[in-house]
Chain A
Amino acid sequence: MNTRTLIPGIKNASSEPAKGEQRCPGAPSTQDIVASDKVRAPGWVRSESYQFLGDQDISKDRYIDPAFARLEMDTLWKKTWQFACREEHIPEVGDYHVYDIGRFSFIVTRVAPTEIRAYYNACLHRGTKLRASGTEGNTDEFKCSFHGWSWKLDGSHQETVCHWDFPHVDPKDFSLPQARVERLGGFVFINMDLSAPTLAEYLGPEIKAHFDAWKLENRYIYLHVAKRLPCNWKLAIEAFMEAYHVIETHPQVAVSNGDANSQYDVYGEHVNRFISPLGVLSPHLYGKHTEEDILKQFTLGDSGALGGGERSLGKNGSARQVMADMFRGMFEKATNTDLSGVSDSELLDCYSYTVFPNTFLFPGISLPMVYRFRPDPSDHRKCLYEVLFMRPVPVDGSRPMPAEPIRLRDDQSFCEAAGMDAGFGAILDQDTDNLVLQQEGLEASAKPGITLGNYQEIRVRHFELAIEKYVKPKA
């Protein structure tokens, strides 16, 4: 069963594998699984980039200390590239979208067909927000609702009401301050740090190439759900960085998920990923299920696009191949898109990428999500989680308006959001229930830190190393 090639020379002289070199025994690797697909996966799938980054415990104060959360606000949130909105949120000149992070707020607005700016969302008179948080609209000037000072779309000061009383206000000095803006794959990123690296440098050339291959600019948001989670934002993020928890937390998924043989990769300082193969049995369950079971259990993020398709294995079929073939046809039909060039792996597998600090991109087709996590500025034990499901835009070129966010109450199940796949909603509920216990447990614990697996939890360590880099820079 184990077809993973051992590359000579990377083992210790002592035949003990080096730290981080061990993989799930007796299971094919993700690369093995992908290599036997009928429609071949692209290069960005067929590559590995794991790196051992140490095995020390991670101190827990970062999750439970409100002072750490305050420090984060003044350090990492001010210096990192953050996904503020999608371009389709502001398609026309004058369209704006308000993005908040902690106490900061930005009006992200299209000032010309190909230019987007992000203004600090505060009047330069006495500070009133120029637009309420969490809103969108279109305007040709930003007029303050308090005394009526206004700014043009390009940020220049337009009017000081009763200018005679403000001889000390030179309009030239009263342009709206800006954050930096960059666009990639239909995403609008902003960064408050005027001397930060470019987004391309921040991501690194390899990940930039992955982005370019995904063409996520050709997707649109068909469902957007937001919910407050009962934990520190970093715990929420880390809960989605590994498939290690699948067998215990989501046993219903394990039947059709290669959890223990998922692949983990790190790229530079800000991006990591896993590839979690679907349509294959969990190594934890070898010998306990048939291919028929795998086919039946397959969970999708976008089952709405599929309708209630019959799933049958046929002669000598593998569940994985049957699902891939079936999805391709049904997705094309249901969403009016052309997927003929899309590989089996892209149709089926869960690709989870994190762009530090708070965005997950899932560039696959059956699990086509974006996650965004933001700290609750008034409570370090809470965060706002958003899941956006994206579909390829229809072949007729029409671009549906992005879905309005559905804001769930804290006590609601994800399944209650209209349009949410029931199986997927149940998974998110299972994750949320763990998180409240984890937050409380860390506070209750006698142990000063958390302990991580070398391979399956490498993304957590990679993420926490970036946290340390920004929050506690070495002098």
Chain B
Amino acid sequence: MNPHKLAFTRVLPASELPPNAKKPLSIEGKAILLCNVNGQLHAISNVCSHNDKPLERGRLGNGWIACPTHGARFDLATGNALCLPATKPIATYEVRVVEDWIEVLV
């Protein structure tokens, strides 16, 4: 993390992302997907590292998301690819809740 760039962006009221919901957003020109897995928030790139398809319609599991196009799975916390056909990670972003707002560090 770059300490000189600590600008969290306020993106969504926390109430609009209930458990097991997803929300695609564009923050500073980046396609980002907010995910709530059983109350745990994650912000990841919405672009699959396999073939650049959007992840937003992918299934959320216990700590992972599966790309709907060819089925690559990614770890929501680290962005690591968990299975073929992806081998490269996707970006992940810091996320926090302040005053009932979800904030993402992009």
What is the interface residue range for chain B against chain A? 20 to 34
Contact B83 A138, beta carbon cutoff 8 Å: no
Contact B83 A135, beta carbon cutoff 8 Å: yes
A404 to B38 CA separation, bound complex (whole angstroms): 14
Q: Interface with A: B8-16, B26-34, B68-76, B88-96, which one?
A: B68-76
Given contacts A132-B84, A145-B50, contact A137 B73 (CB under 8 A): yes
Residues of B contacting A136 with CB < 8 Å?
59, 61, 66, 73
Task: Name the distance in Å between A128's Cβ and chain B's nearest Cβ.
Answer: 9
Question: Cβ of A228 < 8 Å from any Cβ of B?
Answer: no
A145 to B69 CA separation, bound complex (whole angstroms): 8
Given contacts A132-B83, A145-B50, A145-B85, contact A137 B59 (CB under 8 A): yes
Contact B62 A135, beta carbon cutoff 8 Å: no
A139 to B72 CA separation, bound complex (whole angstroms): 12
Residues of B contacting A135 with CB < 8 Å?
66, 71, 73, 82-83
Contact A137 B84, beta carbon cutoff 8 Å: no
Q: Which of B57, B58, B61, B73 makes the CB contact (< 8 A) with A401? A: B61
Question: Cβ of A134 < 8 Å from any Cβ of B?
Answer: yes
Q: Which of A130, A140, A404 makes the CB contact (< 8 A) with B63? A: A404
A403 to B38 CA separation, bound complex (whole angstroms): 13
Residues of B contacting A130 with CB < 8 Å?
71
Q: Which of A92, A138, A145, A403 makes the CB contact (< 8 A) with B68? A: A138
Q: Which of A92, A137, A143, A403 makes the CB contact (< 8 A) with B62? A: A403
11 contacts between A and B (CB under 8 A): A131-B71, A132-B83, A135-B71, A136-B61, A137-B59, A139-B68, A140-B68, A145-B51, A145-B85, A401-B38, A404-B62
Residues of B contacting A403 with CB < 8 Å?
62
Contact A138 B58, beta carbon cutoff 8 Å: yes
Residues of A contacting B62 with CB < 8 Å?
401-404
Q: Which of B38, B50, B63, B71 makes the CB contact (< 8 A) with A137? A: B71
Q: Using an 8 Å CB-CB cutoff, how does the interface string of A137-179 with B read, 1 for contact, 0 for none?
A: 1111001110000000000000000000000000000000000
A404 to B, closest residue via Cβ:
B62
Question: Cβ of A376 < 8 Å from any Cβ of B?
Answer: no
Question: Cβ of A259 < 8 Å from any Cβ of B?
Answer: no
Question: Cβ of B67 < 8 Å from any Cβ of A?
Answer: yes
Best-buried of A134, A135, A403 by chain B (most CB within 10 Å) = A135
Question: Cβ of A349 < 8 Å from any Cβ of B?
Answer: no
Question: Cβ of A87 < 8 Å from any Cβ of B?
Answer: no
Question: Cβ of A386 < 8 Å from any Cβ of B?
Answer: no
Question: Cβ of A95 < 8 Å from any Cβ of B?
Answer: yes
Residues of A contacting B73 with CB < 8 Å?
135-137
Residues of B contacting A143 with CB < 8 Å?
69-70
Q: Using an 8 Å CB-CB cutoff, how does the interface string of B21-60 with A read, 1 for contact, 0 for none?
A: 0000000000000000010000000000011000001110
Q: Using an 8 Å CB-CB cutoff, how does the interface string of A54-67 with B read, 1 for contact, 0 for none?
A: 00000000000000
Residues of A contacting B66 with CB < 8 Å?
135-138
Contact B68 A137, beta carbon cutoff 8 Å: yes
Known pairs A137-B71, A144-B70, A401-B62; list 15 more (Cβ under 8 Å). A130-B71, A131-B70, A131-B71, A132-B83, A132-B84, A134-B83, A136-B59, A136-B66, A139-B69, A139-B71, A140-B68, A143-B70, A145-B50, A145-B51, A145-B84
Residues of A contacting B61 with CB < 8 Å?
136, 401, 404
Contact A132 B59, beta carbon cutoff 8 Å: no
Task: Name the distance in Å between A108's Cβ and chain B's nearest Cβ.
Answer: 13
Task: Name the distance in Å between A42's Cβ and chain B's nearest Cβ.
Answer: 34
B59 to A, closest residue via Cβ:
A138
B70 to A, closest residue via Cβ:
A145
A443 to B37 CA separation, bound complex (whole angstroms): 49
B61 to A, closest residue via Cβ:
A136
Task: Name the distance in Å between A416's Cβ and chain B's nearest Cβ.
Answer: 19
B71 to A, closest residue via Cβ:
A131
Task: Name the distance in Å between A414's Cβ and chain B's nearest Cβ.
Answer: 21
B38 to A, closest residue via Cβ:
A401
A374 to B53 CA separation, bound complex (whole angstroms): 35
Task: Name the distance in Å between B8's Cβ and chain A's nearest Cβ.
Answer: 29
A99 to B18 CA separation, bound complex (whole angstroms): 31
A137 to B72 CA separation, bound complex (whole angstroms): 9
Sorted nearest first, the 10 A-B pairs with minimum C-beta distance are A137-B66, A138-B59, A132-B83, A145-B70, A145-B85, A132-B84, A131-B71, A135-B83, A404-B62, A139-B68
